[in-house]
Structure 1
């Protein structure tokens, strides 16, 4: 592909070779995060002669393709805000799957402060991060601002009722040499740091504890439980407690995206990839505790049991359900209205269900053939079985 230039800066990546395909995952709940330990997508791609590699397994790639998708042969499974930003303002991608975790976000305050409800925050300070990186999407800030505004509205409050205090930070580590040691698996990143207790992933917590602000936003479940277990912080509002599903923004549903070039030139790769993810998703649904043990290595829930409780009702099979697509449309509209993206687009036109449909059909036929081979003189395809005369 031609080099993508963003804000006057040429992005770098490995030269495209269609005998290999890269993946990158956000540390959240998705079948790809389970598959990075199981390897079933790699098996499916190997069947068609394509090597499946983690984005950072080669020195040619820095971390930016995870955020701006400047690599044709790449699959990204992660938070929706960066993916929406890419589709709106950077390059054409296709949405081939989603998974949804219903966690809208919490408002945290100091545990011993006499603050027990949102109305107690009138006239007080709420923190809001601000990335100074103009290349990538400021997904931390998007979810914070979205969550803060929703919690204020639910309690008959407006932004003018509180003081929003910004905390700018450089956010410039994505191509620094010290951050670019190759790794074969994204799990290796967390082997090198105690991510569940690393305040780099909870940027406003110190500001709250030091009294610079009176409240901060955090994700429901991940982060919230770890932060509460310090004994220093409590939640006074939780969007996940409301029956209104449109409140569950928080950078979800997680999105699985690939480039339009990959879809047009090598649809067989996209189908093979999805076959692996569907299999992993079904396995995860049947073995939630085992999936939780894998996800606990890379997500921010308190421990394996806490991870298990939070994914118990999550469908891990990628889908493009109307529910998930409309949730993405809500998030996209918020980003557009608040200046996080410049261009509008239709989420439903972004979605490409034909790849998921073909992958599911091939898996079904393969399973039928496998089972019929064990019970019939000659294995049959599902098409032949369905067209056979009945009665």
Structure 2
């Protein structure tokens, strides 16, 4: 019997993958008739070229769960992957202003300074695209365009995997009552010092609530208020993708992996407080903030894996948006990308 290592990668957001990882669901090997499978988190690997596969998905033994922008980018650039599931975070993704700001609503954005962070050396600058989409949705709702605001760009030369140990790796030890300066210092400082008037909250969910709690920031817009199909952004929907070679040659191992995700999702609905502890650790916030950001039954709905039409439609809209920005080079069929056989088997 041969041993096959399967890598999986995830983002620090609420997910069945994250809950399963915290529960130790992948600590034991899975034995099939011909192979023994060992599952390892990609973020535990220190080699930057390997870690970059979270964004480009070029290796054949990878299962990726996370934001849709890197997944769409990888597919558009020729990565041989299949989309096997979608989740849809019920969480805040909005615009924040200082407590003393004269901006009371999105109609007051005209002539104001907004922050856009850029990483010109990154394969796919999903942070920039996510923020831009949030701003654009708010401006359009207010009857404005980017011509009506002042864009302040802040550029960083480093890549995401060069900055620090991943917050979700086994090597990371974070203080949940502190904001992660690596993620949010560059976002908060320009707002708090008055260099800009508005920021987009970044990672969906609890970080927005934490910034409100710690600094008294006011939310003037939230994509969560839109109909689900029109909330499309990096985390809406989240994508579960797998290397086609892995799916074809080791399908039973992929089924086993996804079965563990479904068990973890069920665990969350029955053990809410413990699941919230895991989510708070991943998002780098206190547990009470995670509680306010993700309540039952919304958290169960957020984690649920499916290929429901509204999720697919939102992903279609996101793909068209990325094409319009020139962020992804080639169009492709979402329908042809989907393989529903894993979810159908469970």
After TM superposition, the score normalised by the length of structure 2 is 0.88
Distance 1:19 1:41 in 2: 14
Is 1:89 aligned to residue 89 of structure 2?
Answer: no
Is 1:286 aligned to residue 261 of structure 2?
Answer: no
Distance 1:21 1:116 in 2: 50
**Would the alpha carbon gap of residues 223 and 337 (structure 1) be closer, same or farther in structure 2, given more than 3 Å must change?**
same
What residue in structure 2 maps to residue 208 of structure 1?
191
Aligned runs of 1:349-368 on 2, under 5 Å? 349-358=336-345, 360=346
What residue in structure 1 maps to residue 119 of structure 2?
131
Number of aligned residue pairs: give it: 337
When structure 1 is superposed on structure 2, of 317-326 and 29-38 the one drifting more is 317-326
Is 1:163 aligned to residue 150 of structure 2?
Answer: yes
Instruction: Please state how far the C-alpha of 1:351 moved relative to its aligned partner.
Output: 1.4
Following superposition, which runs of at least 4 residues in structure 1 exceed 6 angstroms of deviation? none
Is 1:150 aligned to residue 137 of structure 2?
Answer: yes
What residue in structure 1 maps to residue 179 of structure 2?
197
Q: Contact 1:280–1:317 (CA<8 Å) still a contact in 2?
A: no
The answer for unaligned runs of 5 or more in structure 1 is: 1-16, 361-391
Deviations 1:46-72 (A, max 9, x none): 465111112144455642111111221
The answer for unaligned runs of 5 or more in structure 2 is: none
3-state DSSP of counterpart to 2:104:
coil
What residue in structure 2 maps to residue 75 of structure 1?
63
Distance 2:182 2:43 in 1: 20
What residue in structure 2 maps to residue 253 of structure 1?
237
Q: Contact 2:87–2:237 (CA<8 Å) still a contact in 1?
A: yes
3-state DSSP of counterpart to 1:291:
helix
Instruction: Please state how far the C-alpha of 1:310 moved relative to its aligned partner.
Output: 1.3
What residue in structure 2 maps to residue 118 of structure 1?
106
Which has the larger Rg?
A: 1
Deviations 1:167-206 (A, max 9, x none): 1111335258xx57xx9x9353541565851232123211
**Would the alpha carbon gap of residues 59 and 122 (structure 1) be closer, same or farther in structure 2, given more than 3 Å must change?**
closer
When structure 1 is superposed on structure 2, of 296-305 and 283-292 the one drifting more is 296-305
Instruction: Please state how far the C-alpha of 1:300 moved relative to its aligned partner.
Output: 4.5
Is 1:225 aligned to residue 212 of structure 2?
Answer: no
Q: Contact 2:83–2:339 (CA<8 Å) still a contact in 1?
A: yes
Distance 2:47 2:39 in 1: 16
Higher relative contact order (CA 8 A, sep 6+): 2
Aligned runs of 1:287-326 on 2, under 5 Å? 287-304=271-288, 306-307=290-291, 309-312=293-296, 313-314=298-299, 315=301, 316-326=303-313
Is 1:272 aligned to residue 256 of structure 2?
Answer: yes
Note the aligned Cα RMSD (angstroms).
2.5
Instruction: Please state how far the C-alpha of 1:101 moved relative to its aligned partner.
Output: 0.8
Q: 1:327 aligns with which of 290, 314, 318?
A: 314
Q: Contact 2:176–2:286 (CA<8 Å) still a contact in 1?
A: no
**Would the alpha carbon gap of residues 60 and 243 (structure 1) be closer, same or farther in structure 2, given more than 3 Å must change?**
closer
Distance 1:56 1:124 in 2: 39
Aligned runs of 1:14-33 on 2, under 5 Å? 19-33=4-18
Is 1:107 aligned to residue 95 of structure 2?
Answer: yes
After TM superposition, the score normalised by the length of structure 1 is 0.79
When structure 1 is superposed on structure 2, of 213-222 and 188-197 the one drifting more is 188-197
